[in-house]
Amino acid sequence: MFRHIFTNSFGILFSRILGFIRDLLTASILGANIYSDIFFIAFKLPNLFRRIFAEGAFTQVFIPAFTRSKHKAVFSAHIFSLFFMIIAVMTLAVNLFPEAATVAIAVGFDKETITLAAPYVAINFFYLPLIFTVTFLSTLLQYKHHFATTAFATGLLNISLITALLLSKDQSDATIVTYLSYGVVAGGLLQLLVHFAAVQRLGLTTIIVGGAKYFKIKAQKITAETKKFNKQFFPAIWGNSTAQFSAFLDTWLASFLATGVISYMYYANRIFQLPLALFAIATSVAIFPKVARLLKNHKKEEALSYMHKAFWFLAFVLMFSTLGGYILSQEITWLLFERGAFNHEDTLNTTAILQMYMIGLLPFGLNKLLILWLYAQQQQMKAAKIATLTLTTNIVLSLALISPLGGVGLALASTLSGFIGFFATAKTFSRQEFLAIISLKKIVILLLSAALFTIILLIAKELIHVYI
């Protein structure tokens, strides 16, 4: 288990280091202004659909269904062709009506800004069909317990964007955003190529070719499987959408605030996402296929043992990450972004938002693990109900806090809704299942370790200000 976790974590770390270099260059070259807001808005829409439609819901429904399928090649061919067609139609619609798509993301923008942003939204949306194909291929690789390609391939997007920034340096802001938009599409193509190579190397092309070849002959044999998949997929979309819709809501509401707030929230969220991806997402991706197989084979105790190890691994690393990110938030933001067009005031504004995000790291991370238990048991409807509660809480709190606190209030609302989601997911476990994961002794050790780590961080913060 831990070998797969560390493979994912190392790949994600590689990608995130490149991502921070990309963000450092973006902050230095574009700063926090209308053009940086436009690019983040343009990239937000395909990313929203990618995380909801492709990576989250698709992966967590497809893997258990694929594992149980008696006609894996034909089943996978049917599912891929169906969803690729839907995504292709969406991409065409966005390119035909880019201004309408822009309004949907940033309703607070004035007409002139919407007109300015629309072409970039259209370009960026071509990333979605590319990354959906990547997601489909990555699920086949996960089924074979191969995680390295997907973990490291995400770095190709960052390499592409870094190249775009370097090529467009000293050009106008509009030109820089144009280069970045085409860089997104190029990054998607590069990820697709390396996934094709990995699939071919592992001999999985027979599934793809066989599915296409025998689809018409065996289509009737997968009718029941595809109906079950479709029935589970739409609750899964909703169940996976809480964090994504929360981020979308943040951007939508932030478009009503002062120029730069969208960028502050983006930069803060990028820092927050590092430990979340490095530990929580890497762990969840690594153990999900194994847990799904164990439950399919009625080995519930062994599956709970995997959950126990993963839960406490995450509890410790996320607690330490939370404390480090909160206490050293200003120092981290200064180190990463304060240069060029990104000034000290931008650092302070980003820091305040980052602190609110960091408070929610532990519940968000643990919830990503616990929710997999529901998906592995194909209980998508329960996950959808939890998502509804979480999203409703976030909407109410965002509307209540945006006026007095601005962008900080939006980040705090997201964090508080994360706590609600975690406790709601924990309640779905039976007493016996929950006790198999929770340990009172480890809770005490965690709290004592956190107290000691806090003292160390406060001392380190003082030393930083003395010597720097």
Amino acid at 426: A
Which pLDDT score is estimated for 291? 81
Query: CB count, 10 Å around CB of 4?
Result: 21
CA dist., res. 265 & res. 281, Å (int): 21
pLDDT in tens, 191-244: 999 999 998 888 888 777 766 666 666 667 777 777 777 676 767 666 666 666
| Nearest alpha carbon to residue 176 among 31, 317, 346 | 31
Tokens 């990354």 -> residue? 131
Which stretches in the chain have pLDDT values below 70?
A: 1-9, 11-12, 31-32, 45, 48-57, 60, 106-108, 210-219, 230, 232, 234, 236-245, 248, 466-468
Which pLDDT score is estimated for 139? 83
Residue 217 CA, chain-centre distance (Å), reads 38
Q: Are 205 and 199 in contact (CB under 8 A)?
A: yes
Q: Are 425 and 387 in contact (CB under 8 A)?
A: no
CA dist., res. 349 & res. 365, Å (int): 25
CA dist., res. 451 & res. 237, Å (int): 39
Burial of residue 123, with CB atoms counted within 10 A of its CB: 0-12 exposed, 13-18 middle, 19 or more buried: buried
| Nearest alpha carbon to residue 386 among 352, 357, 422 | 422
CA dist., res. 431 & res. 225, Å (int): 32
Which pLDDT score is estimated for 412? 92
pLDDT in tens, 339-349: 777 788 888 98
CA dist., res. 345 & res. 35, Å (int): 18
- Residue 228 in tokens: 């079950």
- Residue 80 in tokens: 């891929």
CA dist., res. 288 & res. 67, Å (int): 12
Which pLDDT score is estimated for 308? 86
CA dist., res. 41 & res. 123, Å (int): 12
CA dist., res. 129 & res. 90, Å (int): 9
3-state SS, the chain, equals CHHHHHHHHHHHHHHHHHHHHHHHHHHHHCCCCHHHHHHHHHHHHHHHHHHHHHHHHHHHHHHHHHHHCCCHHHHHHHHHHHHHHHHHHHHHHHHHCHHHHHHHHCCCCCHHHHHHHHHHHHHHHCHHHHHHHHHHHHHHHHHCCCCHHHHHHHHHHHHHHHHHHHHHCCCCHHHHHHHHHHHHHHHHHHHHHHHHHHHHHCCCHHHHHHHHHCHHHHHHHHHHHHHHHHHHHHHHHHHHCHHHHHHHHHHHHHCCCCCCHHHHHHHHHHHHHHHHHHHHHHHHHHHHHHHHHHHHCCCHHHHHHHHHHHHHHHHHHHHHHHHHHHHCHHHHHHHHHCCCCCCHHHHHHHHHHHHHHHHCHHHHHHHHHHHHHHHHCCCHHHHHHHHHHHHHHHHHHHHHHHHHHCHHHHHHHHHHHHHHHHHHHHHCCCHHHHHHHCCHHHHHHHHHHHHHHHHHHHHHHHHHHHHC
CA dist., res. 16 & res. 154, Å (int): 9
Which pLDDT score is estimated for 388? 85
Tokens 């594992």 -> residue? 67
CA dist., res. 181 & res. 120, Å (int): 6
Which pLDDT score is estimated for 432? 78
